[in-house]
Amino acid sequence: MILSDADILDRLAAGDLVVEPLADVDQQVQPASVDLRLGERFLEFQRTNIPCIHPTEADEVGEYVTETTVPEGEEFILHPGDFVLGTTTERVEIPDDLVAHVEGRSSLGRLAIVVHATAGLCDPGYKGQITLELSNLGTAPVALSPGMRVSQLTFTELKSPADRPYGSERGSKYQDQDGPQASRIGSDPEFSGEDEGDGPSDAGGSA
């Protein structure tokens, strides 16, 4: 069951679902979703620093990613073909009986801006800001302004609460993230040599 606006407001009031800060509840709570705003921090990929990215090499991140802060009121220009990691202003906490889906806003989609490449899921138990995988699929640069509504979350109620929600007990590597986070796939059990049952989960909790 997908939560309606009334359901979302009830869960927010109860406090088990958290989306904060909501600057304007009337504007951000849509009929079946919550609009999220773009944060000020971006991770940009430098194409010329290394010949390729090795997912297993965590120490390479600093060689191909740089962080840029764009204060609210200024603009981040996303050029055609560019891919950057952004973040939401809002921090979310997803209860164990819900799963959240990150979606783009139609108005930005019509400008060829997508907000996630593949990781559109916030697992039950996830807490933190949401990393956005921003791409410009069009032919013209697009100015993105921190504070603008850039994405939306929909919420689906599970048939039963998750037995092993996203979090520290699973070793979930993006729990409580603050700002955009680069890939930590190198700590997955198949790369790190840990037993799969003990290794960190990359369940898409950061979306």
140: left (phi over 0), alpha (psi -120 to 50) or beta: beta
111 is in an annotated binding site: no
Helix (H) or strand (E) holding 108: helix 106-109
132 is in an annotated binding site: yes
Contact 126, 92 (CB under 8 A): yes
109 is in an annotated binding site: yes
Report how far Cα 69 is from the mean position of its chain's Cα atoms: 17
Active site residue 60: no
110 is in an annotated binding site: yes
181 is in an annotated binding site: no
38 is in an annotated binding site: no
43 is in an annotated binding site: no
Neighbours of 9 (CB within 10 A): 15
Measured in residues, the chain has a length of 207
- Name the catalytic one among 44, 90, 133, 157: 133
Query: Annotated binding site: which residue ranges?
Result: 105-110, 123, 131-133, 152, 166, 173, 177
Q: Which residues are catalytic?
A: 133
| Known binding residues for dCTP | 105-110, 123, 131-133, 152, 166, 173, 177
